[in-house]
Structure 1
């Protein structure tokens, strides 16, 4: 890797495992609608494209009324945000890696399709907020990943050019957004990918967040 000046991270499936809290919130909504509950594997296959898409996928999978989607999303958000960090936890190696990256002097950002309020709540609850100079949520801009705008907004805030940045995510929309923004892309193999990892088109796959540090330390020293 050539010189690296900043790193952008996805949240769900990359920095944190939020599937249990998302499942619980979705199941509260489904129960209110008289629909069946979904399990953890089902919800993992639905995560990644924002709250509205998660609700749409869950309601569709359980035979609900999609004509009321906007209403259902509006009901889901406060249910989820009230307990967004109850079971959510950082993946192994995340805290140590973020701390070391900051020690290298690298500015860091989170760009996620999760609503901004829930994102901040989770980062603060897990003690991660202080590591990030910029946070862009799924409702911060009119666009969200795979559109490049959220990544470009984070980079503008950091004052870093796209070619000097790296995006680390777990799903196709992370890689597509990075490519569209002119940013390099790594993908973790432990998240909620909707495609085989080898088909994501990432520059590199990493199996744990801890694998990122030696790669980045070498690049940052260039």
Structure 2
């Protein structure tokens, strides 16, 4: 993995939230509701982040309920999302484009549709598309495979340390937003 630009990439995969769009999600409220769900199950969830809360919910058998709670907020947030500058780069891309997101696949598709980006994207992998979630490399590799290029020929563009780690683990190049 190296950090570089897209000039010699055979394909580009973008993260969604914070990269192409900003979902209108009240993450503090989502976390509060996840904590309530876990406390109902007898889990002390206070010091955990949203994604750690989802992991904890899966461990105690309420993962589907927790995932739907998050996905519902993401779908709603996708319909009111804000388009960011990198979306213009996606539209102008002359190489195949994919999206790999920790957000639920349905929310990703809604956000892409809302901002007229769907026609420019050949591969969409979100939470639920494959069993693993970023930073596990499988999510990014699924998008890469759909694009039909080798991981080392792909540039992954994202806005978080988790995105950088995902790129490193998948063997793609990486660019920070």
Give the TM-score taking structure 2 as reference length.
Answer: 0.74
* Structure 2: gaps of 5 or more residues: 38-48
- Report how far residue 125 of structure 1 moved: 1.3
Residue 16 of structure 1: aligned partner? 21
Computed over aligned residues only, the root mean square deviation of the Cα atoms, in angstroms, reads: 3.1
| Residue from 81, 95, 99 that aligns with 2:91 | 99
**Counterpart position of 2:82:** 89
Structure possessing the higher relative contact order (Cα contacts under 8 Å, 6 or more residues apart):
2
Map 1:1-222 onto structure 2 (within 5 A). 3-18=8-23, 20-23=24-27, 26=30, 29=33, 53=51, 56=53, 70=63, 73-74=66-67, 76-77=69-70, 79-80=72-73, 83-91=76-84, 93-101=85-93, 105-188=94-177
Structure richer in strand, relative to its length: 2
How far 1:111 moved relative to its partner? 0.5
Structure number with greater Rg is 1
CA contact (8 A) 1:25 1:80 kept: no
Asked whether the 8 Å contact 1:155–1:161 carries over to 2, the reply is yes
Name the SS of the counterpart of 1:145 in structure 2.
coil
CA distance in 2, matches of 1:187, 1:156: 22
Q: 1:180 to 1:99 in 2, by over 3 A?
A: same
The alpha-carbon distance between structure 1 residues 95 and 9, as it changes in their structure 2 partners (threshold 3 A), is: closer
Indicate the residue corresponding to 2:45 in structure 1.
none
SS of 1:85's partner is helix
Structure 1: how far apart are the matches of 2:68 and 2:11?
37
- Output the CA distance in 1 between the equivalents of 2:8 and 2:71: 42
Q: Which runs of 4+ in 1 moved over 3 A?
A: 22-25, 27-30, 66-72
Q: Distance in 1 between matches of 2:167 and 2:51?
A: 21
Assess if the C-alpha contact under 8 Å between 1:21 and 1:86 holds in 2.
Answer: no
CA contact (8 A) 2:30 2:70 kept: no
Length, aligned pairs only:
159
